[in-house]
Amino acid sequence: MTDFWHLVRKEATHRKLTFALCLLAIVIAASVLVGELTVLKAHDLQTDFILEEKEQRLEDEMAKMEDDYRKIALELGLNVLILPEGENPDDFYAEGYTSKFMLEEYIDRVAESNLVTINHLLPILEQKIRWTEQGNRTIMLVGTRGETPVSWKPPEKQKPMPTTVGVAPGKIVLGYELWDSLNVEVGDTVELLGENFEVDKCHSRRGTIDDITAWIDLGQAQHLLGMEGSISGIRLLQCLCEGYDPPTLKRNIEEILPGTQAILLENKALTRWEARSNAKAVAKSSLARELAHRSKLRGEIESFVALLIPIVSIVSMALIGVLTLNNVRERRQEIAILRTLGYRSRQILNLFLAKALLLGIIGATLGYLIGFSVALAPGTGSVAGTIASLFDVRILAMTLVAAPGMSLLASWVPALIAAREDPADILRAG
């Protein structure tokens, strides 16, 4: 029995040139399809690779900066000034005292929170007053209770040398200009706002407002100023906030102390943190620019592919159509004799379509191999595991469907013409 595919195969090998040209057309179309899609995939992989590499580099750099920051933050800590909400910090800096006040209990609230490791927690009550007993001269009165122990810190971790030592009730510490002009010394008694204080310490000249400042116990200062239970602000010095970035620390402080504003004071740690944040923003922006650039490039490749693939496909199909039509003309006698021998017109149609299918499958296979190989060549060498990562079963499947489909479509009309040939006309014509 004559095998149907045997006929197809024998005819294909008999008219080698026609078969080869049809095959070439399909191979070109398939390899362009595969090549372009694989290049797009390679581009995507390379984009991922570049971005991952950059992100990794960024992460490494950020980790290093983070580490630097952490170290410096641990070493120096952040300094925070807490003022009543609405108090203009500029006025505070200019005048040296505040016009608004906050509750004294806020000191304990900060001390008992475990927001940060605070080395120095200093409540402030500062007011410029007239020292009526001393010729109405203007002085700065500071009420202090020294360092507030941070309750959650174990005793062995409490700062051994407080920055500011508290002043005992009934005692007074005087700045240089005050004790010098009053001609008093440690152990003497001075009257301030109607109360007597024993001079506990006389500071040497500092060249600052400290020289006209008098320090007394916070409670007595509140009493003298008629501000029981109130303070001007709190200084947090050397906050070792390992787990927080400065903005988070500020936000958290303002949350536990309603009606206050936390002002981060410029120091090396804050500068380092800002530098790190800026560097991160710049790096992220660079990543975004790279991604945009790669996306633009991909868009351009896509546009090219969207144009090239249809053109190549149409040209290939036209070529296959013309070659198949020519093949039908060459085979008119053969078609007539097969019809005479009893072949039905559908069988003639199938002979041509089977050949188209065979061409499509061989063309798809060769086209895939060629297209894939070509796509491997340029610019994809840097992608690890290139062949495995570029192989896409969907592209293979698409090629194995599209190429035979294209071949069948292009051969359809010539095959119909072949199937409709009238054997009597051909035989009579001789």
Partner 1 sequence: MLEIENLDKMYNGPDGVLRAVDDVSFHVKTGEFVAMQGASGSGKTTVLLCAGGLQAPDRGHAIIDGTDPYRMTPDERAQFRASNIGFVFQQFHLIPYLSVIDNVLAPSGALPDQNVNGRAQELIERFNLSARADHKPSELSTGEQQRTAMARALLNNPMLLLADEPTGNLDKENAMIVLNYLWEFAESGGAVLMVTHSEEAASYAHRTIHLKNGKLLASE
**Residue (30 or 338) nearer to partner 1, CB:** 338
**Residue (402 or 419) nearer to partner 1, CB:** 419
Position 199: which residue type?
V
> What is the smallest separation between the CB atom of 347 and partner 1, expressed in angstroms?
7
CA 35 to CA 13: how far, in whole Å? 28
CA 409 to CA 400: how far, in whole Å? 14
Length of the chain: 430
**Residue (218 or 351) nearer to partner 1, CB:** 351
Residue numbers at the binding site for partner 1 (CB under 8 A): 1-2, 4, 6-7, 10-11, 13-15, 333-334, 336-347, 423-424, 427-428, 430
Say if residue 75 is exposed, middle or buried (CB neighbours under 10 Å; 0-12, 13-18, 19+): exposed
> What is the smallest separation between the CB atom of 329 and partner 1, expressed in angstroms?
15
CA atoms within 13 A on the CB side of 20: 5
Q: Hey, what are 11's tokens? A: 């005819």
**Residue (300 or 425) nearer to partner 1, CB:** 425
CA 338 to CA 316: how far, in whole Å? 29
> What is the smallest separation between the CB atom of 13 and partner 1, expressed in angstroms?
7
CA 179 to CA 284: how far, in whole Å? 58
Contact 238, 110 (CB under 8 A): no
Q: Hey, what are 31's tokens? A: 């390899």
**Residue (3 or 90) nearer to partner 1, CB:** 3
> What is the smallest separation between the CB atom of 362 and partner 1, expressed in angstroms?
18
**Residue (275 or 424) nearer to partner 1, CB:** 424
Contact 198, 186 (CB under 8 A): no
> What is the smallest separation between the CB atom of 342 and partner 1, expressed in angstroms?
2
**Residue (343 or 412) nearer to partner 1, CB:** 343
> What is the smallest separation between the CB atom of 411 and partner 1, expressed in angstroms?
18
Q: Hey, what are 398's tokens? A: 């698409």
Sign of the torsion formed by the C-alpha atoms of 362, 364, 367 and 372? negative
Q: In 3D, which of 125, 85, 120 has the Cα closest to residue 104?
A: 125
Q: Hey, what are 168's tokens? A: 């005992």
> What is the smallest separation between the CB atom of 399 and partner 1, expressed in angstroms?
29
> What is the smallest separation between the CB atom of 19 and partner 1, expressed in angstroms?
11
Terminus-to-terminus CA distance in the chain, angstroms?
A: 28
Q: In 3D, which of 310, 327, 418 has the Cα closest to residue 21?
A: 327
CA 118 to CA 242: how far, in whole Å? 11
> What is the smallest separation between the CB atom of 24 and partner 1, expressed in angstroms?
21
Q: Which residue is listed with tokens 């020294």?
A: 146
> What is the smallest separation between the CB atom of 361 and partner 1, expressed in angstroms?
21
**Residue (15 or 171) nearer to partner 1, CB:** 15
Query: For strand 195-202 and strand 213-217, is the pairing parallel, antiparallel, or unpaired?
Result: unpaired
**Residue (367 or 423) nearer to partner 1, CB:** 423
Q: Which residue is listed with tokens 């970035």?
A: 245
**Residue (345 or 365) nearer to partner 1, CB:** 345
Q: In 3D, which of 39, 14, 12, 40 has the Cα closest to residue 26?
A: 12
**Residue (127 or 324) nearer to partner 1, CB:** 324
> What is the smallest separation between the CB atom of 337 and partner 1, expressed in angstroms?
4
CA 210 to CA 330: how far, in whole Å? 113
